[in-house]
């Protein structure tokens, strides 16, 4: 059996629902060996983010170097990168390593409102990281910040996806529609055509870590050599079940169910 490997470069969520914890659980469920480079540690539970502690740049670089020079990675993803210098460092490491199956989840703000990316880092995200991405997976508010467009329809989401690919240089974009009311339809644009990923909406407050989980599932499938379209469909199924079969953990926004 071939063993596939994926690296997540992201923040730690002590509550186990988002960040590297969500990524590693997702990799495991999709039969991919997971490794991690932690960019920041959050003190967090289902009620919110209670502290953020950035890892020094040298520590981030050494984690990535340690993983890539020994274990290796068939694909990688980025999550919470916190500061502009972290984005620059991570972009540099990825470019030097020649990692092409890169999923960029442009994490900006937690559902509870805590900022997970400094505003001053937004230019670095657009200029340094997006051009290296095989696919970028913004939710609606993130796509609005990245493109500067106001998004209120599927057509708007398509326009944002085109801007991210054609103007910002990403290989593909999946603009996620979970923040809309109604069916949570995502728009995938690969530079040539559009594909819609649809699912039924399930009403629940337990959606903490959905973005991390979805992008980790795309990353795991890319690691296995699946096409982006196959990876996106598998990830959509994975996240839909993870939301549908809620665990009900904690008194606030609980984690999705990676076992589902």
Handedness of CA 112, 118, 120, 122 (dihedral sign): negative
Q: How far is the CB of 73 from ligand PLP (least distance, A)?
A: 19
Catalytic residue set: 176, 207, 209-212
Q: Which is nearer to ligand PLP, 97 or 110 (CB)?
A: 110
CB of 19 to ligand PLP, least distance (A): 3
According to DSSP, residue 46 is labeled T
Calculate the alpha carbon distances from 76 to 15, 104, 189, 217, 221 in Å: 23, 9, 20, 11, 11
CB closer to ligand PLP out of 84 and 178: 178
Measured from the CB atom, is 126 or 159 closer to ligand PLP? Answer: 126
Q: Which residues bind ligand PLP (CB under 6 A)?
A: 10-11, 13, 18-19, 42, 44, 79-80, 107, 110-111, 116, 208-212, 253
CA-to-CA dists, residue 134 to 27, 182, 225, angstroms = 18, 29, 13
Q: How far is the CB of 107 from ligand PLP (least distance, A)?
A: 4
Please state, in angstroms and as integers, the Cα–Cα distance from residue 88 to each residue in 30, 35, 62, 85, following that order. Answer: 30, 21, 15, 5
Q: Is 42 helix (H, G, I), strand (E, B) or coil?
A: strand
For 56, other C-beta atoms within 10 Å of its C-beta total: 8
Q: 54 phi and psi, to 5 degrees? A: -75, 140
- Give the SS3 label for residue 177: coil
Who's near 38: CB < 8 A, 6+ residues apart?
10, 11, 12, 20, 55, 60, 63
Minimum distance from residue 216 beta carbon to ligand PLP (Å): 10
Q: Which is nearer to ligand PLP, 137 or 190 (CB)?
A: 137
Q: In the complex, what is the shortest distance from the CB of residue 47 to ligand PLP, in angstroms, rounded to a whole number? A: 11
Q: Closer to ligand PLP at the Cβ: 79 or 84?
A: 79
């Amino acid at each position: 059996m071939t063993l596939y490997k994926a690296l997540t470069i992201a923040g730690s969520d002590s509550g186990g629902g988002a960040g590297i914890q969500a990524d590693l659980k997702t990799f495991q469920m999709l039969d991919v060996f997971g490794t991690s480079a932690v960019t920041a540690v959050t003190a967090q539970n289902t009620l919110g983010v209670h502290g953020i502690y950035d890892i020094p740049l040298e520590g981030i670089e050494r984690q990535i170097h340690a993983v890539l020079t020994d274990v290796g990675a068939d694909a990688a993803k980025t999550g919470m990168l916190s500061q502009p210098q972290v984005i620059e460092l991570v972009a540099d490491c990825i470019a030097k390593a020649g990692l092409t199956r890169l999923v960029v989840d442009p994490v900006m703000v937690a559902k509870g409102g805590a900022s997970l990316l400094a505003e001053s880092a937004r230019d670095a995200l657009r200029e340094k990281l997006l051009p290296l991405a095989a696919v970028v997976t913004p939710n609606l508010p993130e796509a609005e910040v990245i493109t500067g467009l106001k998004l209120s329809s599927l057509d708007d989401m398509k326009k944002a996806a085109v801007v991210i690919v054609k103007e910002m240089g990403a290989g593909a974009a999946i603009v996620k529609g979970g923040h809309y009311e109604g069916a949570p339809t995502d728009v995938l644009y690969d530079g040539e055509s559009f594909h819609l990923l649809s699912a039924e909406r399930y009403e629940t407050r337990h959606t903490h870590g959905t973005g991390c989980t979805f992008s980790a599932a795309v990353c795991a499938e890319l690691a296995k050599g699946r096409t982006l379209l196959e990876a996106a469909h598998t990830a959509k199924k994975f996240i839909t079940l993870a939301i549908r079969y809620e665990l009900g953990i904690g008194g606030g926004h609980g984690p999705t169910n990676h076992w589902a």
